[in-house]
Amino acid sequence: MVTGLGATTPLGGDVASTWAALLAGRSGIGPIEEEWAADLPVRIAGRLQVEPAEVLGRVKARRLDRCQQIALIAAHEAWADAGTPETEPERLAVVIGTGVGGVLSTLAQNDVLEASGARKVSPYTVPMLMPNGPAAVVSIEFGARGGAHTPVSACASGAEAIAMGLDLIRLGRADVVIAGGAEACVHPLTLAGFAQARALSTRNDAPQEASRPFDTARDGFVLGEGAALVVLERADFAAARGARVHATLAGAGITSDAHHITGGHTDGQVRALRMALVSAGLDALDVEHVHAHATSTPAGDLTEACSIAEAIGTHPAVTATKSMTGHLCGAAGSLGAISAILAIRDGVIPATRNLDDLDPEVKLDIVTGRPRRGRLTTALTNSFGFGGHNASLVFTSAP
């Protein structure tokens, strides 16, 4: 059972504000105005709407990398939303994925080393840069002794974390799991690297129109930052304490392409989609809504569209919220999961922004213009990452 939701994103500092912005079709993408971006080929990004230090306080924030800060913020919201479940510490686990972990701390402290020498490097450097940092700080904060895990599978990390949370509960290793993803890597190096790979949109003059999933004029994704976490509970545990349930995590599928370091493949994606349905005990015709990975790259969007059509069909209503948030990389899959959960709970699917001219090769029912309302019982989310990582999750309405 999904009993808690927490997030901080380019659209808002919590789930409610992020969800309201998604339904309103607002964009969280804007220009990077710092001097360090002046000479970069890409000068736009999805930055956090609320700075972490405003929530955590500056003293606590300075000892944590930015991705650890936002993971902690999202975890507190999710835990409170779940009603602060009381469980044995050994039955509480944490799974928080990330794409690159504390890269901002790594690069910042390397600058300190080169400019001022070893004695000026922060003693918190290693705890801040390690990819397992977000899972570690959240497990310490909540006293979770049932395991603190960190899937690092590029842009599939957040979804893989939720899938691992499902496994932990099904295997009997945990009653409650805090799961999801966190990413904060808006930096000259990451922007330059993605730009050199021609993965980013170069619409510097129109940032809010830059992310265009499935549109014929799409030219790359927009880098974003944020964290999104859920609280998962064993069904009978949640029922015994009278927990409010947002939705049910019914199944998950994880595969790898073994194909190309940056390019996805329909075979691996189709297998992940079908595996998720088998895990959930559902058929393709049961799926009413798909939250697409759809980053806005020319090749990636088309590959996914073909995969959805082959594995599920063209009947589900499809949305792509990266058109508003940008690509949160390691947190993208978990934010997509929250969108799908809320779509089921509230009976409304956010519309895809900036889709003015649907690619004629995309044979899907894409929600555009305004949110689509109606009762939903089953939704599926996709997350695909560099390295050929594929993760699909299936959510159903609360019992």
Of 187, 291, 293, 389, which one is the catalytic site residue? 293
Contact 30, 48 (CB under 8 A): no
Catalytic: 306? no
Of 155, 291, 329, 389, which one is the catalytic site residue? 155
Catalytic: 67? no
Question: How far apart, in whole angstroms, are the C-alpha atoms of residue 43 and residue 202?
Answer: 8
Q: Which of 233, 228, 73, 48 is nearest to 137 (CA)?
A: 73
Of 187, 265, 291, 327, which one is the catalytic site residue? 327
Instruction: Label residue 240 exposed, middle or buried (CB < 10 Å: 0-12, 13-18, 19+).
Output: exposed
Question: How far apart, in whole angstroms, are the C-alpha atoms of residue 287 and residue 10?
Answer: 29
Number of H helices and E strands in the chain, helices first, is: 14, 15
Structure tokens at 7: 């997030």
Question: How far apart, in whole angstroms, are the C-alpha atoms of residue 165 and residue 183?
Answer: 19
Contact 301, 357 (CB under 8 A): no
Q: Which of 261, 291, 297, 260 is nearest to 273 (CA)?
A: 291
The DSSP bridge pattern shows strands 289-291 and 317-319 to be parallel
CB crowding 209-231: b at 16 or more within 10 Å, else e: bbbbbbbeebbbbbbbbbbbbbb
The conformation of residue 380, written as its DSSP 8-state character, comes to E
Contact 23, 350 (CB under 8 A): yes
Catalytic: 293? yes
Q: Which of 360, 388, 99 is nearest to 266 (CA)?
A: 388
The conformation of residue 351, written as its DSSP 8-state character, comes to P
**Which residues are catalytically annotated?**
155, 293, 327
